[in-house]
Structure 1
Amino acid sequence: MKEKFLEHFPQAKVKFDEALSSYSYTRTGGPADILVFPQTIEEVQAIVSYASTEELPFMVLGNSSNLIVRDGGIEGIVMILTDLTEAQVQDQALTVEAGARLIDVSRLAADYSLGGLEFACGIPGSLGGAVFMNAGAYGGEMADIVSQVDYVDRRGNLCELTAEELDFAYRHSCFQENGGIVVRVHMQLHSADQTMIESRMAELTQLRESKQPLDLPSCGSVFKRPEGHYTGQLIQEAGLQGYTVGGAQVSLKHAGFIVNIGQASASDYLAVIAHVQAVVKERYGVDLETEVRIIGLDNQ
């Protein structure tokens, strides 16, 4: 499989049997059979088309920030799009390839005195991942600003969807069902005073740093917010802060986070998640649904 891939893509930026723990924010995750970093949207199309023809499983990781890769790794082809970062600004429209970091995109908007992306200034994921999850914070979300998304379908065709077709909802987009790979995002922003934009971003950054455990590896916010409740408050009141399995711990700083305090495995993370869900369900009758994506194979 690997030799054949190289025959088709001799110029590809690729690694074989590469541990995904080197790329995930939790510092956990088993190996990818083929890990490739496409340099262009056309290369994404070609790889997807190849995988479809060869009937190989394939998957795209964003910035691997809101993600847990199981210890058994991922079979087939894994693409990381962090080399796709080309950006264009025209009037109040911002068009950026999906591998760009959302933090960098928010700063680019500020540089051009474009408002609307301030909420994203501290979200560590990629732009494509942010669209996939309809990422949001501090009263804003991607659904507020996205006007169109260009994506590659499961056969390698380049397609587009307007905002109305994206089925945005809380931490949801249509890509979670259709399997499309976001490659370029068109955003409609508004003119604003650059000083005001930067002031708001500084305020949100300070809020984030004061409340979240940014000094330790984590997968970000683990659970979706259940209706009528605050996740962190439920977990804290259940006495679960500091609960630890192996190297994974419910953060002492923010109970909605699980941090890697040293050599955690994905299995450690999943055990902590399952325990938190069970205790919160038993005590409060609330089902905590994971916001973090959990993918890959269990360790054999």
Structure 2
Amino acid sequence: MTDFYVVPAWQEAEWPAPTRTSRARRYAMTPPAFFAVEYAINPWMDTTTPVDVGVAMAQWEALRQTYLRLGHSVQVVEPVPGLPDMVYAANGGFIANDIAVVARFRFAQRSAETKAYSRWMSSVGYRPVTTRHVNEGQGDLLLIGETVLAGYGFRTDPRAHGEIAALLGLPVVSLELVDPRFYHLDTALAVLDDRTIAYYPPAFSEAAQATLSQLFPDAIAVSSVDAYAFGLNAVSDGLNVVLPAAATGFAAQLRAAGFEPVGVDLSELLKGGGSVKCCTLEVHQ
């Protein structure tokens, strides 16, 4: 497994950038009122590192305001005491084609989030459905066009992929993750528009890399430096890409490809192993 990945020189060549178009999106977010690192279920979590909830709340609010400024709507899901990771709303489920699939978490520490997000889905008019096997929502399920890219290897059970395909009526492409630092698909791959992705190749198995190369020959390959900064844990509206401010190399790649990078600081929430996308559940319409 390659430990350090440098963007190939050919990807740094200057080419005319295509015209990108934004589309208003609908997001759900949960404020980090009860955020803490009380346990370690991914390599980024360190229970000895102090967490400042006030800073986390301010950074989260800045992200919410960024979405509003860009013309998107944000629904707030009420946090629940005792669920410190509920701020990572993307893991709560997957909503598309008027179907709301609620998450089934691998770790007991997060299992009660299923009920909380199910209640929210019901409150906004959906009838939540679940899978028999573990699925961790948009952490491992990313929609691009009319296809779902589905990660497995650390959290979501690959047997859930077939269930997701049947529930949504959409094709699902399974992608194996092999580096525990990138334990969810949304930490190693970002959907930029209906045809374009960015990803970190060493996070994936050789078979998954081959699949991505075939499906997305124009994908942006991100360096180790930006991947370790959680740069791929980003949210795009087709033009504006909201990403961790520390991922400066990726921001330059985005700009060269015609996108508008919008850097935000979520360093406090990174202590729990999440950033922009982790905090954002998109309601696909």
Structure 2 length normalisation: TM-score? 0.31
Larger Rg: 1
Q: Which has the higher strand share?
A: 1
